[in-house]
A and B are shown apart, each in its own frame.
Chain A
Amino acid sequence: MVYFIAKRLIQSVFVMLAVAFLAFSLFRFVGDPITQMTGVETSVADQERLREDLGLNDPFVYQFARFTGDMLQGDFGFSYRTRQPVAEMIATRIPATLELGIVALLISLFVGIPAGVYTALRPRGVATQAILMLTLVGVSIPTFVIGIMLIFFFGVQLGWLPTFGRGGTVHLGGWETSFLTVDGWRALILPAITLGVYQLTLTMRLVRAEMMEVMQSDYIRFATARGVPMGRLYFKHALANTMVPVITIIGLQFGGVIAFSIVTESVFQWPGMGLLFLESIRFVDIPVMGVYLVVIAFFFVLVNLIVDLLYVVIDPRLRIRDVS
């Protein structure tokens, strides 16, 4: 067990180093940082002095080591655009994106898993066919179109829900949350649905496929032959076995949801990291882009680590093999 976690952690360190290297290369080699920091009126001598001060003349390896070291200490550099510390900018944006991503994930799980189970147990039912068709439409339409359609119906036509921004938020320490006000929740619903639809479809289809396979397995047939009550059969025996492979995909997808919330955030003007990233691209704000890359990679690594641990929790075979 300890060995397993240690191995994963070491792998994670290498992934993070690789991403940090990419971010660093972006910063160092896409254009000259000095020309981007300074205006036309800065003299060449001043530019050279700045270059020396910032250590840009040092050997490459040394610069990378310093870049990584600074990051580890929480020093992410300064934005070209706003002249603020990047760490601060990201920190104010992270809560918005995380809350959006988590709510989208929960929607996809709480709708996707029951729908998957239902469609697996009644493969020929009318409702099943309807759900399958609807979700097919769901994946086929691009996210931004879904977002715009939701805004049109619920925001503009019916006027039930706000169409942009986070609504009312409350500061909890350094964390700006929309979970504590009705307004915040109202503003959260549409973007979360938009972001969750794709993951919902995927979860549902995966659960359905796995569940149908598990229902054919010997242990389910044996449990049926012993007269285990149907409820337990479906939800204890079958569902647990279904979730083992499904969890991996959900985990990978959650990383994706956080990373690719860019589209949703821009449709709903959601002040999260995705929107920040888009703004940074427009202004070639390379330090912010680099840090965004590192932060997103960190989420991916973290989520996958959690998934690996969940695996061990669910499946006793992995646990025991390690002990013996």
Chain B
Amino acid sequence: MLRVENLTVKFPSRFGDVTAVEDMVMSIDVGEIHGLVGESGAGKSTVGAAIIGLLQKPGYVADGDMMLGDTDLRRLDRFEAHALRGKRISMIFQDPQTSLNPLMRIEDQLIETILAHEDISVADARTRAVDLLDEMGIENAAARMQSYPHQFSGGMRQRVVIALALCTNPELIIADEPTTALDVAVQSQVLDLIRRLADVRKVGFMLITHDIGVIAQIADTVTVMRHGKMIENGPTAQVLGQPKEDYTKQLMAAVPPLDRKIARFKVPDEDGIITPSEARGNAAEAWLMRGIKEDPIGLTLDQVNVAFPGVRTSLWKKPDPYVALRDISFDVKPGTVVGIVGESGSGKSTLAKTLTGLIKPVSGTMTMGGAPLPGGRERARNHPSRQLIQMVFQDPFSSLNSRHRIGAILAEPLWLYGLETDKDARRKLCIDMLSLVGMPPEAIDKYPHQFSGGQRQRIAVARALLARPKVLICDEPTSALDVSIQAQLLNLLKGLQAAFGLTVVFISHNLSVVRQMADDVVVLRNGKIREVGASETVYTTPTADYTKRLLALTPVMPAAWRA
């Protein structure tokens, strides 16, 4: 149905044209789900945008053929192309939070789309919209349709988005990371829906994603892309099960498995990451060892409750507080890694903030190494834990000050905690530490924006280590990264943890990643602990229903496909 041959997309720039996609070949049949995998910058989304004719300016299709049925997509003029969008090809975006117009009712957005392509009455359009929402699994659709997008939850919103993409019965839907922003439970529902639409309605899907688990679960065929080029394509089982190309093999090796813990990932080489030069890395290691010569420290939480004031809606009534964490009790044993898993809104990040003293619990006690750990502002600015507990944040793009050089960012903990008073010694130590985390010495005089996400996350780890911490709190440290880079960072964290006996609290929504890191696991849901236990026990024989469900719903590759 869709046939793409030798597609080449270029972006003109001051230094000549940049080729974003080169010689891309793919075809999608009626009712087929075709996966497009690759890491960020591979050109996956550009292929999708080129097919639907929405390339970001000034990009243009330089060469190749794109045929949808008998229609040559490259020969359409502006108006024909726009008439075709929605009618024959439609699109689903990554984030359902931002892909609906916040100021319009769902109903108006649906009816408007139907009327744009079909000559039917408003009443008929409304009937079809209701039926469609019904089919998407939205209960009481006729009434719910009157609501605005923000009144739906994330999963429901993505259903609305799919209904919008589907309301004119297109032949092809380009789904650009449709489940990346969703929790596993919702993700599995949305994936089921997509599978059903392909089977029943015979819609062809182009499923763009970086999540190989998702592809493995529902795609019929798959294309692997890298640097704008097609690496390998074919039926999913064949490409992922018996990969021919090295890159596909490396990619598969970097995917963390859910069913077992592997000591170290085999990773493809990343540009700009160096193996630590022995001498420099050792210097930083020695410095860290000197600080951590005493025993590692553990944390305990006992009946910790965190609540936020609710939104005030009345002059007279005091609003009910929103309870973010309820009766949280668990131990982090010295020198171990505790994984915290849960879906969005489960209170994972609140827990991290509470431990670091950014939020004050309303009740309960926390201790560090036996000594009480005050919460929030009660923890003095110069409290020892402010140095001993360090944090690595999720988003490497906003957690480093973009106007400071790496040198200044790294030196801050050194002078702030009075660890190194001499300026030159600080600089040398920063360079050593960079080398320990696999960054070249030149990095010290650059700015954060000059690095990729993975490199920035390494810098963030180096910054945390330069405070000579005993406890490292990692809040989704890899969720913004590609799998191969995630694998590298996990290797790095594992290595550092083992070498320095760091106590690590590792927070993630990704169960496979946590399995690779954690000795013990805490499963959170809606601010409550559902299950605590040794990682192996929880993953192999979960007791809580919620944990069982999470494990069952996480998309995984068949074990046979793994080398």
| Chain A residues near B (Cβ < 8 Å) | 2-3, 6, 217-219, 221-230, 232, 236-237, 240-241, 244, 314-317, 320-324
B113, A225: Cβ atoms closer than 8 Å: no
Residues from chain A with a CB closer than 8 A to the CB of B100 are 219, 222
B103, A224: Cβ atoms closer than 8 Å: no
Q: Which residue of B lies closest to A320 (CB)?
A: B151
**Which secondary structure characterizes the binding site on chain A?**
helix
Residues from chain B with a CB closer than 8 A to the CB of A229 are 116
Name the 9 nearest CB pairs between A and B, nearest first. Answer: A227-B86, A225-B91, A226-B86, A227-B85, A218-B98, A316-B148, A218-B99, A222-B99, A219-B101
Q: Which of A224, A316, A317, A322 contacts B85 (CB 8 A)?
A: A224
Chain A: minimal CB distance from B560 (Å) = 38
* Interface-located stretch among B127-135, B196-204, B312-320: B312-320
B98, A228: Cβ atoms closer than 8 Å: no
Q: Which residue of B lies closest to A317 (CB)?
A: B150
Residues from chain A with a CB closer than 8 A to the CB of B423 are none
Contact with A along B147-184 (1 / 0, CB 8 A): 01011000000000100110010000000000000000
- Provide the bound-state CA to CA distance between A2 and B315, in Å: 9
- Provide the bound-state CA to CA distance between A314 and B83, in Å: 30
Q: Considering the complex, which residues of chain B in the window 304-356 have a beta carbon less than 8 Å from any beta carbon of chain A?
A: 311-315
> B515 in the interface, Cβ–Cβ < 8 Å?
no
Q: Which residue of B lies closest to A219 (CB)?
A: B101
B86, A225: Cβ atoms closer than 8 Å: yes
- Provide the bound-state CA to CA distance between A213 and B315, in Å: 37
Chain B: minimal CB distance from A312 (Å) = 12
> B95 in the interface, Cβ–Cβ < 8 Å?
yes
- Provide the bound-state CA to CA distance between A82 and B100, in Å: 62
> B54 in the interface, Cβ–Cβ < 8 Å?
yes
Chain A: minimal CB distance from B174 (Å) = 8
Residues from chain B with a CB closer than 8 A to the CB of A230 are 82
Chain B: minimal CB distance from A310 (Å) = 13
Residues from chain B with a CB closer than 8 A to the CB of A322 are 313
Residues from chain A with a CB closer than 8 A to the CB of B112 are 228, 232
Q: Which residue of B lies closest to A322 (CB)?
A: B313
Residues from chain A with a CB closer than 8 A to the CB of B428 are none
B312, A227: Cβ atoms closer than 8 Å: no
Q: Which of A2, A221, A227, A237 contacts B104 (CB 8 A)?
A: A237
- Provide the bound-state CA to CA distance between A3 and B310, in Å: 15
Chain B: minimal CB distance from A249 (Å) = 18
> B463 in the interface, Cβ–Cβ < 8 Å?
no
Residues from chain A with a CB closer than 8 A to the CB of B116 are 226-229, 232
Residues from chain B with a CB closer than 8 A to the CB of A240 are 103-104
- Provide the bound-state CA to CA distance between A314 and B109, in Å: 16
B164, A226: Cβ atoms closer than 8 Å: yes
Assuming the contacts A6-B315, A316-B148, asked whether A222 and B161 have C-beta atoms less than 8 A apart, the reply is yes
- Provide the bound-state CA to CA distance between A314 and B101, in Å: 13
> B87 in the interface, Cβ–Cβ < 8 Å?
yes
Residues from chain B with a CB closer than 8 A to the CB of A236 are 104
Residues from chain B with a CB closer than 8 A to the CB of A219 are 98-102
Instruction: Taking A227-B113, A315-B102 as given, write out 11 further A-B residue pairs in contact, using a Cβ cutoff of 8 Å, ordered by the A residue number.
Output: A222-B164, A225-B52, A227-B82, A227-B116, A227-B168, A228-B113, A240-B103, A317-B148, A317-B150, A320-B150, A321-B311
> B387 in the interface, Cβ–Cβ < 8 Å?
no
Q: Which of A221, A222, A227 contacts B117 (CB 8 A)?
A: A227
Most buried by B among A222, A315, A320: A222
Assuming the contacts A3-B313, A217-B98, asked whether A222 and B148 have C-beta atoms less than 8 A apart, the reply is no
| Residue contacts A-B, CB under 8 angstroms, 27 given | A3-B312, A3-B314, A3-B315, A217-B98, A218-B93, A218-B98, A219-B102, A221-B54, A222-B91, A222-B93, A223-B101, A226-B116, A226-B164, A226-B165, A227-B82, A227-B84, A227-B116, A228-B112, A228-B116, A230-B82, A232-B112, A317-B102, A317-B148, A320-B148, A320-B151, A321-B311, A323-B313
Assuming the contacts A3-B314, A227-B83, asked whether A237 and B93 have C-beta atoms less than 8 A apart, the reply is no
> B510 in the interface, Cβ–Cβ < 8 Å?
no
- Provide the bound-state CA to CA distance between A223 and B93, in Å: 11
Residues from chain A with a CB closer than 8 A to the CB of B84 are 227
Contact with A along B74-101 (1 / 0, CB 8 A): 0000000011111100110101001111
Residues from chain A with a CB closer than 8 A to the CB of B98 are 217-219
Chain A: minimal CB distance from B117 (Å) = 6
Q: Which residue of A lies closest to B48 (CB)?
A: A225
A225, B85: Cβ atoms closer than 8 Å: yes
- Provide the bound-state CA to CA distance between A223 and B54, in Å: 11
B90, A226: Cβ atoms closer than 8 Å: yes
Q: Which residue of B lies closest to A321 (CB)?
A: B311
- Provide the bound-state CA to CA distance between A222 and B95, in Å: 11
- Provide the bound-state CA to CA distance between A222 and B99, in Å: 6
Residues from chain B with a CB closer than 8 A to the CB of A317 are 102, 148, 150
- Provide the bound-state CA to CA distance between A314 and B102, in Å: 10
Chain A: minimal CB distance from B90 (Å) = 6
- Provide the bound-state CA to CA distance between A222 and B98, in Å: 10
Chain B: minimal CB distance from A110 (Å) = 22
Residues from chain B with a CB closer than 8 A to the CB of A241 are 101-103
Q: Which residue of A lies closest to B86 (CB)?
A: A227
Residues from chain A with a CB closer than 8 A to the CB of B101 are 219, 223, 237, 241
Chain B: minimal CB distance from A219 (Å) = 5
A226, B113: Cβ atoms closer than 8 Å: yes
- Provide the bound-state CA to CA distance between A321 and B93, in Å: 26
Most buried by B among A223, A230, A322: A223
Q: Which residue of A lies closest to B89 (CB)?
A: A225
A225, B148: Cβ atoms closer than 8 Å: no
Residues from chain B with a CB closer than 8 A to the CB of A320 are 148, 150-151
Most buried by B among A2, A224, A225, A241: A225
Q: Considering the complex, which residues of chain B in the window 488-519 have a beta carbon less than 8 Å from any beta carbon of chain A?
A: none
B85, A226: Cβ atoms closer than 8 Å: yes
Q: Considering the complex, which residues of chain B in the window 17-63 have a beta carbon less than 8 Å from any beta carbon of chain A?
A: 52, 54
- Provide the bound-state CA to CA distance between A124 and B226, in Å: 34
Q: Which of B54, B86, B99, B103 contacts A316 (CB 8 A)?
A: B103
Chain A: minimal CB distance from B79 (Å) = 9
Q: Which residue of A lies closest to B101 (CB)?
A: A219
Chain B: minimal CB distance from A117 (Å) = 16
- Provide the bound-state CA to CA distance between A3 and B315, in Å: 6
Q: Which residue of A lies closest to B87 (CB)?
A: A227
Residues from chain B with a CB closer than 8 A to the CB of A232 are 112, 116
Chain B: minimal CB distance from A214 (Å) = 10
Chain A: minimal CB distance from B161 (Å) = 7
- Provide the bound-state CA to CA distance between A322 and B104, in Å: 18
Chain A: minimal CB distance from B89 (Å) = 8
- Provide the bound-state CA to CA distance between A224 and B272, in Å: 39
Chain A: minimal CB distance from B113 (Å) = 5
Chain B: minimal CB distance from A165 (Å) = 45
A316, B150: Cβ atoms closer than 8 Å: yes
- Provide the bound-state CA to CA distance between A229 and B168, in Å: 14
Residues from chain A with a CB closer than 8 A to the CB of B168 are 226-227
B99, A224: Cβ atoms closer than 8 Å: no
Chain A: minimal CB distance from B232 (Å) = 28
B54, A225: Cβ atoms closer than 8 Å: yes
- Provide the bound-state CA to CA distance between A2 and B82, in Å: 45
B86, A228: Cβ atoms closer than 8 Å: yes
- Provide the bound-state CA to CA distance between A240 and B102, in Å: 10
- Provide the bound-state CA to CA distance between A221 and B113, in Å: 14
Most buried by B among A219, A237, A316: A219
Q: Considering the complex, which residues of chain B in the window 447-465 have a beta carbon less than 8 Å from any beta carbon of chain A?
A: none
